[in-house]
A and B are shown apart, each in its own frame.
Chain A
């Protein structure tokens, strides 16, 4: 009988999740007794590694935490240190940073929507199987990814581990002509992104909604990338400097990653769903209309629909990149001077997967005394467990193999970037007899 027979599934590789970890779900009858998402968190290593280094090295060092979202690390590092030093960047540099982030979002969201997440909804084991039946779709992903990569390469200075971003600006900025060369490709990318929204909206989504605390940046004029107040749908409205007053990281035995929680409340969700729900009014009209036509209206509380929201953010990223290029006038200097001085600075930027918090304390020589990095996947970790706790109860009647697959899919809703750890997520679902628990 379902739920009475003890059964264990072991999956050595959770496909299409970047990084290493393990999932353990224990059920007693129809009751979920325990959920543990175990991941290994590398930024702690970097925090130690940063101590004693000059602040100018922080953007490059932290960029290596993640091969998928190095720009996010560079941006949070640069902004936090600029706040510690009390320097203001040129508006043109600010615009370029937004364009830089557009490139990363296009790359990252394309990778996740098409290669990692869509196969779940279309019933394929992976994108290779999907490509046999949906070749034009995968070709579209290749085009979009390539464009994102072009933007990142142009601004970052090279294909991998971009090096051009600096405290105070960039080591080198592009010419107007270099940016204009992206325009035609961005125009078709915008159309491809709109098609991505329409396509992903046709998928079937499980009937699963949760009562989330969404947390994202909010800026008075823009859909957020690099600055804004940190807000939530439960009344949070704070500056980055107050982040640690309102969020707490707790060590849990089963994971090297710290669990982030809102003080006094609990888990929260960062990433596309949070941004969309808290900033819908700041999306450009083309993205708003695409969302509404796809049946998305905030608040979207079904995490499986995050694939469509990511597609909407692809539309935003293309439209925003076109705006940035249109308005760009090269700055007088690629970067403002960043003198050594003691100070503490915090910054939050919106990585593709959600907010990324950095704090640096510097001494009078500009050397880093202390660093703290809270990546989005660490912040979502407890929320993923809470989703699984709710979702697993819906799966009691499903054969164990399919239930396991669906749990993996629920994890992929978050596009977890455990990637800085290693590779395999071992999944164990243990259905114990009720009496035995």
Chain B
């Protein structure tokens, strides 16, 4: 399984992907960080059959809400305004679909964000979602995630 976390840590909630990657590494799970630019992303999952992408999304859901979407089956119904992406994660999915470059299994964990301006902080609701997403992904990786398994507790993000 390849886990690709997107975002720019200098840009408020857009940095949530990077925070999830850090947390996954606490669990001993390898996670790449990327800007989320479409061509780079398509290349990043090239050769992998099973891929998880994590990014901030804007769908109108409550801030901090986590959505888990199956990338092969659905058209990503959201704008993903990580501006430095230039060309967004949603467009990467669609372009890869057109080019026949979608991995066999592709999931998107989208965390609803609200602040994307340069220099802003990650909003508290989004910070809280980091642990939830990291634990869900860890569970998908087959790691036991109960509190008694000795994983480091969530840092004060």
Q: Please report A residues at the B interface, Cβ cutoff 8 Å.
A: 13, 16, 18-20, 40, 42, 45, 49, 64-68, 110-111, 115-116, 126-128, 131-132, 135, 138-139, 141-142, 145-146, 149, 159-160, 419-424
Contacts and interface: CB of A to CB of B under 8 A. Distances in A.
Contacts of A145: 39-40, 43
B73 to A, nearest CB: 18
A139 B98 CA distance: 11
B83 A142 contact: no
Q: Which residue of A40, A45, A128, A139 has the most chain B CB atoms within 10 A of its CB atom?
A: A128
B99 A135 contact: yes
Contact of A42 (B42, B87, B119): B119
Contact of A420 (B83, B98, B99): B83
Contacts of A132: 98
Contact of B116 (A13, A142, A160, A423): A423
Contact of A67 (B84, B94, B98): B84
A42 B84 contact: no
B95 interface: yes
A71 to B, nearest CB: 14
A142 B100 CA distance: 13
Contacts of B98: 128, 131-132, 135
Mostly, the B contact residues are mixed
Interface string B74-104: 0000010111111100010011001100000
Given A420-B118, A422-B117, A20 B87 contact: no
Interface of B: 8, 10, 32-35, 37-40, 42-43, 79, 81-87, 91, 94-95, 98-99, 116-119
A128 B94 contact: yes
Contacts of A424: 81
Given A67-B8, A111-B39, A421 B95 contact: no
A115 B42 CA distance: 13
Nearest to B39: A145
23 contacts: A16-B87, A45-B118, A45-B119, A49-B119, A64-B8, A110-B39, A115-B39, A126-B91, A131-B99, A135-B99, A142-B42, A142-B43, A146-B43, A149-B40, A149-B43, A159-B32, A160-B35, A420-B83, A420-B84, A420-B118, A421-B117, A421-B118, A422-B116
B34 A160 contact: yes
A263 to B, nearest CB: 29
